Amino acid sequence: MEQLSFNRRSFLKGALAAGALAASGASLCGCSTGGQIQVSAECKAASSFTGQANDAVYSLLDFSDQSELECALRGFVAAPESLEVLGEEGDLIWSQDAYSFLEGECPESANPSLWQNSQLNHLFGLYEVVPGIYQVRGFDLTNLTLVRGEVGWIVFDPLMSVECARAAMSFVREHLGDDPITGVVISHTHVDHYGGIKGVVSEEEVSERGIPIIVPAGFVEGVVVENIYAGTAMSRRAGYQYGTALEPGERGRLGMGIGLTQSFGNVSYIDPTDEIVSTGEVRVIDGVTMEFQLTPGTEAPSEMNTWFPQFNALWMAENCTGTLHNLYTLRGAEVRDGNKWANYIMETKSRYGAQVEVVFQSHNWPHWGNEAVNEYLVNTAAMYKFISTQSLMYLNQGYTASEIAHMIKLPDALERVWYTRQYYGTLAHNARSVYQKYMGYYDANPVNLHPLPPKEEALKLVEYLGDVDAVLKKAKADFDAGEYQWVAQITNALVFADPENEAARLLCADALEQMAYQAESGTWRNAYLTGAMELRANAALPAPAGKNSGDTRGAMTVPMMLDFLGVLVDANAAQNLDLTFNLSITDDVPYVLRVRSGVVLYEANAQVENPDAVITLPKAALLALCSKDPAARSSSMKIDGNAEAVELLCSHAIKLDPLFNVVTP
């Protein structure tokens, strides 16, 4: 194997071993006056309190332990000197070059534990896991994994963007030969694991060569639920989680545990050809034997691990990674079951622990050696089991989600393991998710049964506080004392009462910024910094995003599409609307679409006499039923009967805003 000779290795070894903080530069800003305190719209240097908090991390963790770095470096084959992936129009899809600042020492504006993890995620290139299994790491948020068969490659989880997957495969062919793709396995329903599939194979190749695309049971439904029903809100919130509007840098975006950030290319989808419906099912593809273990309700509603008996190698999908993961993800998703997650990992250990010699997954790096792998499995299971059982212990004593989030702490031995650190998920928001799963949002205090919405609460708070300038003075004093969480809370209340209160907005931004600098979680850092940026701009800011090809919507069934139509109709505004349509779907069964008091209902394999209209259309045109553009309807469907009834329904459809406000009302 070629030795890792490029500069990142020496930089990383020096930086991680030294464990030293470099002082941040002076503030970049001049100050302006807002109210009776000095405020500024520019980013700030780390405060002395932030410097002290980050310095304390060196006492908590053993930075001389280089075991994760050694795993991240092991098996290196080759890497490009520079890595930037561009789109067809020259737009930047992905860049490792933008993170070259990570090759220096940790500044005061970064938690040193997160900095070290980001350095490891900055390693990129082609790596050998064992002879016959390879990974391309650092070409996207996810790893592209390849298993060599008798004829070609079986690809696991083909990244998030077509452009990144294509670049990764080009690099593989440059160094390992131009062998064909003979199979694709997608471990679960998240877009960073399937969105790049058309950069690996085309639909024509899949059809003509019979290439299997293997997925776990429930995959298609999970993809739609994840990306369509709540897709607009999830996409906006993902911008906060991934920090897509932020620039990488010492005061900007770092990594986030499972990788650096998301890529911004074209997202694709190809229908699977084979579904795994039970644990223990075996497939032999291109001479490679694979045994699958279903793990529904863990990191995704539909997910599976894979065992390779001829390699003694275990693929853990995203059930094990180099960090504490999410039982609740900040972008929003169904709450995950920490107890099931732990139990499935222990089932994995029971099934394969005696033989396994290497464990690898869709993010981060592998671990080698039977003893180390089994310890990795047990520690990871213990982490999720602890969060689940201890949160339940506290809630059964009457503690609320907020109280539990401040009480829970991993046992010391677990807390000091590098791959259990809180780079992606955190104990605080994961503990809240356990409460949500078992108890729901309500904390049993009747005061909180139907609280005022944030803006009304903020207006009453300001009315009671009286002198806003006096509140701001006290908030500034608390900021100067390092009480950043409280300052963010009180100033954000002032912002919700009056979004034009510049002093409140900018002081809130400054508090969020210091909290970001201290955060070990990359997602918390991103959220804090994105909130600060939007407060300073007093606007929701557009950010780069992946380009949806429409493939995912094409995977929707007719019931899924009709359910989504119901999401798009404002039923309160349409409450006096009662309509009935016969749908003659040219490539599916007939449906009756009813609108009752503004609510969209439907029946399959049914038609009624004397409907308001008969609508003839292909399945793909169903979503145009609520289009604001009459031309889109007329070009895709035929309407017999009362065409005005269709227009009436469409008049109550909403237009989804992908840039709704978050930190302002």
Q: What is the 3-state secondary structure (H, E, C) of 458-498?
A: HHHHHHHHCCHHHHHHHHHHHHHCCCHHHHHHHHHHHHHHC
Mean pLDDT score of the chain, rounded to an integer?
A: 92
Task: Report the distance separating Cα 106 and Cα 9, nearest Å.
Answer: 16
Domain boundaries, the chain: 7-30+61-436, 556-651
For 620-650, write each residue's pLDDT tens digit: 899 888 777 777 777 889 999 999 999 999 8
For range 77-101, the mean pLDDT: 96
For range 643-658, the mean pLDDT: 90
- Residue 554: per-residue pLDDT: 77
Which is more confident, 40 or 212?
Answer: 212
3-state secondary structure 312-324: CEEECCCCCCCCC
Return the DSSP state at 134: E
pLDDT exceeds 80 at position 18: no
Task: Report the distance separating Cα 511 and Cα 513, nearest Å.
Answer: 5
> By C-alpha distance, which of 121, 117, 44 is closest to 517?
44
pLDDT exceeds 90 at position 25: no
- Residue 34: per-residue pLDDT: 39
For 431-461, write each residue's pLDDT tens digit: 999 999 999 999 999 999 999 999 999 999 9
Q: Which amino acid is residue 253, in one-letter code?
A: R
The fold of the 556-651 domain, in CATH, is Nonspecific Lipid-transfer Protein; Chain A (3.30.1050)
- Residue 383: per-residue pLDDT: 98
Task: Report the distance separating Cα 54 and Cα 52, nearest Å.
Answer: 5
> By C-alpha distance, which of 323, 331, 335 is closest to 297?
335
pLDDT exceeds 50 at position 21: no
pLDDT exceeds 90 at position 508: yes
Going 116 to 121 to 122 to 126, the CA torsion angle's sign is positive
For range 289-300, the mean pLDDT: 97
Task: Report the distance separating Cα 370 and Cα 239, nearest Å.
Answer: 39
> By C-alpha distance, which of 332, 354, 340, 423 is closest to 387?
340
For range 76-90, the mean pLDDT: 96
**What CATH number labels 7-30+61-436?**
3.60.15.30
DSSP codes joined into one string, 274-298: EEE-STT-EEEETTEEEEEEE-TTS
Return the DSSP state at 451: P
Pairing of strands 288-294, 304-308: antiparallel
- Residue 6: per-residue pLDDT: 36
Q: What is the dihedral of CA 399, 405, 407, 413, to 10 degrees?
A: 130
H-helix segments, 61-150 = 67-73, 112-121
Q: What confidence tier does 549 reach under pLDDT thresholds 50, 70, 90?
A: low
Going 487 to 492 to 497 to 500, the CA torsion angle's sign is positive
- Residue 36: per-residue pLDDT: 61
Identify the bridge partners of residue 533 per DSSP, sorted by sequence position.
Answer: none
Give the SS3 label for residue 245. coil
For 186-200, write each residue's pLDDT tens digit: 999 999 999 999 999
pLDDT exceeds 60 at position 565: yes
**End-to-end CA, the chain:** 57
In this prediction the pTM is 0.92
Question: Which of 227-241, 485-499, 568-582 has the weakest average pLDDT?
Answer: 227-241
For range 416-423, the mean pLDDT: 97
Contacts of 228 (CB under 8 A, 6+ apart): 552, 553, 556, 560, 564
Percent of the chain with pLDDT over 70: 94
Q: What is the CB-side half-sphere exposure of residue 548 using CA atoms within 13 A?
A: 12
Which is more confident, 177 or 31?
Answer: 177
